[in-house]
A and B are shown apart, each in its own frame.
Chain A
Amino acid sequence: MTDPIDIQLARELMRGDPEAFERFVEHFQTKVFQYSYLMCGHREDAEEVAQETLFKIFESIQSLREPEAVRSWVFRIARNACYMKRRKSVFAPSEEISLDQLMPSVNQQGGERKLEIADWSNLPESQVLQSELRGVLEESIGSLPDIYKTVLLLRDVEGLSGQETAEVLDISVDTVKTRLHRARLAVRDKLDRYLRTVGVSQ
């Protein structure tokens, strides 16, 4: 699930390819904006974070030794810029997600055990998200507590590895795994509630 375009662009930029600058700026502005928009929740903050991150990238480009490290390096800068924009107290405790709350009930129907969830079988794996479902997904991700949201955005949306995510966030790979699992279950649960309300329930 790696996204080699990030690494290719960094390699071209560091090689001095004259067209790389424009492509690199446009690509990472979009990536950092999306991450910051979901982390900060404000469009203006996200625009500023993207610009500040780009300036920091070029000011400290010497510290990027390997193009392969570009994603964790860029998102580490973006994460720090997001922290500076946080409108709520940095001391506000982050809500914990408990596994028990996200485990669905199982109903005994005759001899068969049935799960009380929506029927996901009609959603194809490769479905391009239709606008309403995309909006529900955005709201589901956006409403996660910050410590879970940042892990899900980096791992599942941006495609960073567990190790890269751990480096960006200064946490262990095991903590990345624990938080990612809870974040995924919480998003699945919210999508499930939506799918049940739109009438695809069993």
Chain B
Amino acid sequence: MNDCKQIFALLSEYIDGELPPDICSRLEAHIEDCGPCVEFVQSLKKSIAMCHKFEAGEKPEPLPDAVKQGLRETWERMRTQMG
């Protein structure tokens, strides 16, 4: 496996630790000697790490009391049925 393009298609599975061991070692052997691949993997890992921490700028309004009450009544009714 010495083609950057082949490597490129497998990078998410590599980062997630989901590649079979033999493919993973061949990929790592390529990356060790390939500056552009090292740099690209670093950028992709950081981009994924940002998604892990992402929170939308918009937050929901607190639920109206009537909605919360309706939810609680539904829950209590189901609990009774479940015994």
Contacts and interface: CB of A to CB of B under 8 A. Distances in A.
Interface of A: 1, 16, 21, 25, 29-30, 33-34, 37-38, 43, 46-47, 50-51, 54-55, 58-59, 61-62, 99, 103-104, 106, 112-115, 117-118, 120-121, 123, 125-129, 133-135, 137-138, 141, 152, 156-157, 159, 162, 177, 180-181, 184-185, 187-188, 191-192
B49 A125 contact: yes
Contact of A138 (B8, B35, B57): B57
Contacts of A156: 48, 51-52, 54
Interface of B: 4-5, 8-9, 11-13, 18, 35-36, 39-40, 42-61, 63, 67-68, 70-72, 74-75, 78-79, 81-82
Contacts of A138: 54, 56-57
Contacts of A30: 59-60
Given A21-B75, A30-B60, A54-B71, A103 B8 contact: yes
Contact of A33 (B39, B47, B59): B59
Contacts of B47: 184, 187-188, 191
Nearest to B9: A99
Given A21-B72, A33-B59, A104-B40, A177 B12 contact: yes
Name the residue in B13, B44, B60, B63 with the highest tally of chain A Cβ atoms < 10 Å from its Cβ: B60
Contacts of A188: 43-44, 47
A126 B9 CA distance: 26
Contact of B36 (A58, A59, A115, A141): A115
Given A62-B82, A129-B50, A192-B43, A46 B58 contact: yes
Interface of A is mostly: helix
A106 B51 contact: no
6 contacts: A25-B68, A62-B82, A117-B43, A120-B43, A134-B57, A181-B13
Contacts of A191: 47, 50
A187 B43 CA distance: 11
A61 B4 CA distance: 49
Name the residue in A137, A156, A185 with the highest tally of chain B Cβ atoms < 10 Å from its Cβ: A156
Contact of B50 (A37, A43, A99, A137): A137
B45 A125 contact: yes
Nearest to B51: A156
